[in-house]
Structure 1
Amino acid sequence: MNSPTPAAGALDARDHRVFDAVRELMSTQGMQLSMEAVAQQAGCSKQTLYSRYGSKQELLRRVMQRHLCRATAGLRAMDGEDLRGCLLQFAIDHLEHFNETQVIQARRLIAAEAAQFPQEAQALYRDGAGALALHLAEWIATRIERGLLRHDDPHFMAELLLSMIAGLDFEKQRFHTPHRDDAVVRRRWAEFSVDSFLQAFAVHPAVPEPHSNQLRSFS
């Protein structure tokens, strides 16, 4: 598996300004954002953007790479032996990111425009959610080799875990329905998801007892 692992140190202040501009514009313009708008938002010239990134597609790919780096920081922060600690931090980071106002708005716009811009939508999936699933599968495969997780298909396991973490919350956001907009409630759901995953796949599942029904009752 060759999932990308972008290095945060490879970015400078100008990159961060540009990437932040892209994130903000995607929440208001979706996939119709232009390099001219990005340049204006970031305070640079359009020629600078093309010289540095080559194309809008490459710029969007780099933005997705930065997100991947941040999203997988919890998996890289520890040595990987603390399965619950690594996966819980990953789950919390994942839920926090997708509860940011800009991200919620961008997801709604992109979903609405996907049929109009199918190639762009597929590229965003490949470089975003697809790359995240590949990276998580690679991490899981390594823990299987170490004897920490039960031998199974790491791709299936990664997709299952991501689905468990997301629950119905992202769908609720998309349809403007009350969701887990509180950090405490999101952490409880992250704990429940990770603990359930480890109960199924950990070789020696040293996880807490199942959560009570009270903790399972979320908005």
Structure 2
Amino acid sequence: MSNPAEAAVADTRNRLIQAARVAFMEEGYRASVDGIAARAGVAKQTLYNHFPSKDELFSESVGLVSAAIVVTLDGQTDDVRATLLRFGAAFRQKVLGDEGLAMFRTLMAETARFPTLALAFFAKGPEQTAARLADFLGSAMAAGRLRQDDPRFAAEMLVGMLNNIDHFRRLSSNTPLPEALEESRIGQIVDCFLRAYDPNH
């Protein structure tokens, strides 16, 4: 069992990161340290005991979000279409959802200030998602369920199709598609992708 004091320190640190994540998504990098400490229910000095600078707290928050947007292919089966439909729904929910869009806006606004952080976000989030999708598609190609091609290219193309103009539409209007239309859109995208990789053509 962990030491109670160590557990308390870990709990405080986690509350600070979670509070910072929400604050940065709502207010951008301009979110105040005082406000973040208040959200976490701690004194400002306690925040600085855990994070010597606001930059470090921002980095921790971005790392948390980048890990959260990684989309896995859990429950995959030999039914490629069913697996890709589940993947598409999960991907769009995370990337086009309120939290994903908020962090995208915040990070893009601070890319010039934190160039290495933006690269780390890509490596921990979008890159991991594309790599896992490429592994699945490569296996499907090897089994003859998809046309042979570069699985990484195929993965990036599908991710691009799933993101498409809807990402800009959400960023501009902040209005999600109705649920029925969202489900239909994912099905259309996946079916278009599968036609392109039909092993019989």
Calculate the TM-score normalised by the size of structure 2: 0.73
Q: Which residue number in structure 2 is paired with residue 217 of structure 1?
A: none
Q: Which amino acid aligns with 1:190?
A: I
1:192 to partner: Cα distance: 0.6
Alpha-carbon distance between aligned partners in 1 of 2:197 and 2:106, rounded to the nearest angstrom = 36
**SS of the residue aligned with 2:148?**
coil
Q: Which residue number in structure 1 is paired with residue 79 of structure 2?
A: 82
Structure 2: segments with no counterpart, 5+ residues: 1-10
Structure 1: segments with no counterpart, 5+ residues: 1-13, 206-219
1:188 has 2:191 as partner: no
Pairwise CA RMSD of aligned residues?
3.2
Alpha-carbon distance between aligned partners in 1 of 2:132 and 2:193, rounded to the nearest angstrom = 17
* Aligned pairs, number: 183
Q: Which amino acid aligns with 1:189?
A: R
Q: Which residue number in structure 1 is paired with residue 197 of structure 2?
A: 201
1:16-55 superposed matches below 5 A: 20-30=18-28, 40-43=38-41, 46=47
Instruction: Answer whether contact 1:31 1:120 (CA < 8 A) is retained.
Output: no
**SS of the residue aligned with 1:114?**
coil
Instruction: Answer whether contact 2:66 2:122 (CA < 8 A) is retained.
Output: no
1:67 has 2:55 as partner: no
Query: Of 143, 147, 150, which residue of structure 1 is paired with 2:147?
Result: 150
Alpha-carbon distance between aligned partners in 2 of 1:133 and 1:36, rounded to the nearest angstrom = 38
**SS of the residue aligned with 2:74?**
helix
- 1:30-55 C-alpha deviation (Å, 9 max, x unpaired): 456688866653456547866xxxx6
Q: Which residue number in structure 2 is paired with residue 163 of structure 1?
A: 160
Instruction: Answer whether contact 1:39 1:49 (CA < 8 A) is retained.
Output: no
- 1:94-133 C-alpha deviation (Å, 9 max, x unpaired): 2222332233232222222222321111211221112211
Q: Which residue number in structure 2 is paired with residue 4 of structure 1?
A: none
Moved over 3 A (4+): 14-23, 29-50, 55-60, 177-180
Indicate how the Cα distance of structure 1 residues 185 and 59 shifts in structure 2: closer, same or farther if over 3 A, else same: same
